[in-house]
Amino acid sequence: MIISLILLVVGLVLLVKGADWLVDGASVLAKKKNVSDLAIGLTIVAFGTSAPELIVNAIAATENYPEIVFGNVIGSNNFNLFMILGIAGLITPLAVQSSTVWKEIPFSLFAAILIPVLVGSFFYDSGFELGRTQGLILLAFFLAFLYYVATQLKQDPEATSGEIPPYSNLKIWSLIIIGLAGLVGGGKLVVDNAVSMAQTLGVSEKIIGLTIVAAGTSLPELATSVVAAMKKNADIAIGNIVGSNIFNLLLILGVSSLIRPLEYNPSFNMDILLLSGGTIFLFLAMFTGKRKKLDQWEALLLLLAYLVYTGFLISGEI
């Protein structure tokens, strides 16, 4: 137990430093290439911080642990939306671009609703499965999302701001690559040792997926978004979360179901409803208080909602 705890702390340190390097490298790359911070957050940063979920889910699918697969993705998305945006929004109010309000946030809501629709849990009483055909559908929508992001890579002049640090291309890509490596390595250390500790305490597979594994694989998003918020880079903070949630639902579940058809537990519908409700709240928050901004009181509501949800989840009420 002591060794697992030490390795857990080492993983957390790798996550924080990896996130710091990744945000620095990605932000400078965005400015030098005249690409918006939002587009970088939705692609490079989102993919990098979603890598732990991809690794964990590929292993879980191969070993036929479907509740870990779904619990990891759905739990990670709820952790991203409620906990991470809640913390980042408390640090500083997060301004949101129009494209995020009207396109990326609604698309992430669509991706969440698509999962129970594809497995049929809204229409049938049994036989719920995310098979390879459904996985290909998810990947097709993911490619459509990437195409949309590609069209945004040449943004309007207001997309980037501030002075460009005098980093060489070697330093920029070194920061990004080392940052991603730190995130993936740190995430794996955190998850492996957190799961080991949880299993020692006799926690169920579903609870492990929705809490320990989900929170562990979301630590890169947490570290990245908190660092971005502290640096007043709202585009990286928001783009990272929205992009990661889309990546998780479409890419990671799509790839996982291609590895092995996944049996779906309809009890996950409640967690998806929470995710959908939180996404709708985020959209509506853009029109309350200061427009196109997640205010601190709204971030606090997200954070409190997640804490209440987690309490009910652990107590077995949901």
Amino acid at 51: A
What is d(CA 125, CA 108) in angstroms, rounded to the nearest whole number? 26
Amino acid at 242: V
Q: From the centroid of its chain, how far is CA 88?
A: 14
Both tokens of 150, joined, read 């590609």
What is the mean predicted confidence (pLDDT) over 159-175?
Answer: 76
Q: Mind listing the pLDDT tens digit for each residue in 239-285? A: 778 888 999 999 999 999 999 999 998 889 999 999 999 999 999 98
What is d(CA 71, CA 57) in angstroms, rounded to the nearest whole number? 10
Range of 17-26, 29-38, 153-162, 245-254 with top mean pLDDT: 245-254
Predicted pLDDT of residue 80: 93
Q: Mind listing the pLDDT tens digit for each residue in 85-113? A: 999 999 988 887 777 788 889 999 999 99
**Between 232 and 45, whose confidence is greater?**
232
CB 29 within 8 A of CB 227: no
Q: Which residue matches tokens 């929705």? A: 210
Confidence band (pLDDT; 50, 70, 90) for 217? confident
Amino acid at 273: L
Confidence band (pLDDT; 50, 70, 90) for 168? confident
Has residue 157 got a pLDDT over 50?
no
Q: Which residues, including other chains, have CB under 8 Å from residue 243's CB and lie 6 or more apart? A: 41, 42, 43, 45, 46, 47, 104
Helices marked H in the chain — which ranges? 2-32, 37-40, 46-62, 66-78, 85-91, 98-99, 105-119, 132-151, 169-200, 205-207, 214-230, 234-246, 253-259, 268-285, 296-315
Has residue 165 got a pLDDT over 80?
no
CB 131 within 8 A of CB 261: yes
**Between 23 and 310, whose confidence is greater?**
310
CB atoms within 10 A of CB 34: 12
Q: Mind listing the pLDDT tens digit for each residue in 76-85? A: 999 999 999 9
Q: Say what percent of the chain tops pLDDT 70.
A: 90
Q: Which residue matches tokens 């857990």? A: 8
CB 71 within 8 A of CB 267: no
Domains contained in the chain, CATH given: 2-155+165-315 (1.20.1420.30)
Tell me 42's DSSP state. Answer: I
